[in-house]
Amino acid sequence: MKKLLYAVAISATIFTGCSDDDDDFLPPTKEPVVGEITGDITANRTLAFGNYTLKGLVKIQPGVTLTIEKGSTFTADKTDGEDGLVVLKGGTLIANGTADEPIVLTEKSKIAGSWAGIIMYGDAPIIASGGTTTSRSEDGLNQEYGGANAAHSSGSLRYVRVEYAGQVITTNNKEHNGFSFYAVGSGTTLENLVSYRGNDDGFEFYGGTVSAKNLISYGNADDSFDWQDSWRGQDNTNWFAYQTGLGNYGMEVEAKSNNNAFWPKITNITLKRAAGTTTESQGEIQLDAIQFKANGNGDFSNIVIDGYGSQTTPTAFNGGVVQILDLLTYNNQVLTGKIKLTNVKVTNSPNLFISGANTFTVNAASFGANWSASTTATGASLAKGKWATVDGVDLLANL
């Protein structure tokens, strides 16, 4: 018995000793590197987990891949000029964060409109004004975009957050969004992306075939989601827009007046506008949840829309859920069934339909079976986490 008690005592001592030294067995904490990213990326490169300064327009050249490790942070500084991360046509960006270790691109002053965000060029088809298959970018780089490879890949963006972008230098000629996708192809992965408090659109698609899943557009001063040049992504889901302070359309939909036989498809959409949010430009009516113009179309389902009422100050405008801006869009898209809005739940938005012209009246009957109201639509479904949290603010609190 004495031997047994002695053995137990020794065993207890061993285990007690191990518990005191548990920290010795934990894997070492990986320290972030510190560096600056500037100039052209001309050779394949991997940026280790770290905190980087982003200086100037960093351009990934054709044939080159830039890989960014999860958890990395990039900080621009508006005082040093025009900053941004650009993927040129034929270049590849692999930026795969995680829900707990997102890749964050921000700006030192935390002022909206301070830098250019992420700009990506692909080789997928577009249809621009006049039916042309190429166009020139409106970001000041004057890049030609539009190709023939619908399945082209420009890389992978997962759990990436862009903050305080949307720099506008010259309206319509040199302006940036949070994310700008020019002719990006369906081989590109866009998942779990956040555009936070920019001064222009949260996300804009300029033609192309890429689809995007799990998007958050929060507090962007122009449109939350915008597209043109006949974008045709087919596998889009879980889009959430929260407009607060300044904000124009939840979604602005146009096709440069091309009457296409195709359209994009998006499921699970939530568009919310906080009380007191006003339109960015007091000279234009831009406060509807969804605006269709210039033959814009699309198939949208499981939609929740909240807070899109009329504005009384500083300028009185009528706001609503769906605006059809022009007769061309009404005749070619609404009446022919190329705009589908099904399973739509509307709250705090008294005006369902708004006509942008006096030449036609749009209502539920205009859409026929392609409009269906709902009390059970659920909208976007997104998981909370560090990827959707900024300075302690849960961006999904209002979802």
**CB atoms closer than 10 angstroms to residue 15:** 10
Q: Name which of 124-133, 157-166, 170-179 the model is least confident about.
A: 170-179
At residue 355's C-alpha, the angle toward residues 352 and 356, to 5°, is 130
Nearest residue to 229 (alpha-carbon basis) of 210, 214, 243, 249: 210
**pLDDT at residue 280 in the model:** 84
Tens of pLDDT, residue by residue over 325-384, are 999 999 999 999 999 999 999 999 999 999 998 899 999 999 999 999 999 999 999 999
In angstroms, rounded to a whole number, what is the distance separating the alpha carbons of residues 303 and 397?
Answer: 18
Are 299 and 337 within 8 A, CB to CB?
no
For the segment 222-250, the average pLDDT, to the nearest whole number, is: 97
Tens of pLDDT, residue by residue over 25-76, are 566 778 999 999 999 999 999 999 999 999 999 999 999 999 999 999 999 9
Q: Which residues pair with 193 in a beta bridge?
A: 160, 215
Q: Is 75 helix (H, G, I), strand (E, B) or coil?
A: strand
In angstroms, rounded to a whole number, what is the distance separating the alpha carbons of residues 380 and 305?
Answer: 11
Q: Is 11 helix (H, G, I), strand (E, B) or coil?
A: helix
Which residue's structure tokens are 């000029």? 81
Confidence category of residue 168, pLDDT binned at 50, 70, 90: confident
In angstroms, rounded to a whole number, what is the distance separating the alpha carbons of residues 98 and 112?
Answer: 25
Environment class of 167 (CB within 10 Å of its CB; exposed 0-12, middle 13-18, buried 19+): buried
Nearest residue to 219 (alpha-carbon basis) of 19, 397, 41, 16: 397
Q: What percent of the chain has pLDDT over 70?
A: 92
State how far the alpha carbon of 260 is from the alpha carbons of 63, 234, 266, 339, 370, in Å.
32, 15, 17, 12, 18
Confidence category of residue 313, pLDDT binned at 50, 70, 90: confident
**pLDDT at residue 376 in the model:** 98
In angstroms, rounded to a whole number, what is the distance separating the alpha carbons of residues 305 and 321?
Answer: 7
Tens of pLDDT, residue by residue over 343-360, are 999 999 999 999 998 899
Tens of pLDDT, residue by residue over 279-309, are 887 766 789 999 999 999 999 999 999 999 9
Are 349 and 305 within 8 A, CB to CB?
yes
In angstroms, rounded to a whole number, what is the distance separating the alpha carbons of residues 96 and 101?
Answer: 9
Q: Is 387 helix (H, G, I), strand (E, B) or coil?
A: helix
In angstroms, rounded to a whole number, what is the distance separating the alpha carbons of residues 193 and 395?
Answer: 12
Are 171 and 122 within 8 A, CB to CB?
no
**CA within 13 Å, CB half, 108:** 11
Environment class of 399 (CB within 10 Å of its CB; exposed 0-12, middle 13-18, buried 19+): middle
Are 252 and 294 within 8 A, CB to CB?
no
Per-residue DSSP letters for 117-146? -EEEE-------GGG-S-EE-SBSS--EE-
In angstroms, rounded to a whole number, what is the distance separating the alpha carbons of residues 318 and 234?
Answer: 32
Residue 45 phi, psi dihedral angles, 5° rounding = -150, 140
- Whether 11 shows a pLDDT value over 60: the answer reads no
Count H helices and E strands in the chain, helices first.
3, 30
- Whether 170 shows a pLDDT value over 90: the answer reads no
**pLDDT at residue 89 in the model:** 98
pLDDT mean across residues, the chain = 92
Tens of pLDDT, residue by residue over 13-38, are 333 333 444 445 566 778 999 999 99
Which run of H or E residues covers position 303? strand 298-306
In angstroms, rounded to a whole number, what is the distance separating the alpha carbons of residues 330 and 143?
Answer: 33
Alpha helical stretches, state H, the chain: 2-20, 327-329, 364-367
Per-residue DSSP letters for 222-243? S-SEEEETT-----EEEEEEEE
- Whether 388 shows a pLDDT value over 70: the answer reads yes
Q: Name which of 3-17, 191-205, 265-279, 374-388 the model is least confident about.
A: 3-17
Environment class of 159 (CB within 10 Å of its CB; exposed 0-12, middle 13-18, buried 19+): buried
**pLDDT at residue 10 in the model:** 31
Which run of H or E residues covers position 36? strand 33-41
Confidence category of residue 322, pLDDT binned at 50, 70, 90: very high
In angstroms, rounded to a whole number, what is the distance separating the alpha carbons of residues 231 and 298?
Answer: 10
In angstroms, rounded to a whole number, what is the distance separating the alpha carbons of residues 223 and 205?
Answer: 12
In angstroms, rounded to a whole number, what is the distance separating the alpha carbons of residues 166 and 160?
Answer: 16
Confidence category of residue 173, pLDDT binned at 50, 70, 90: low
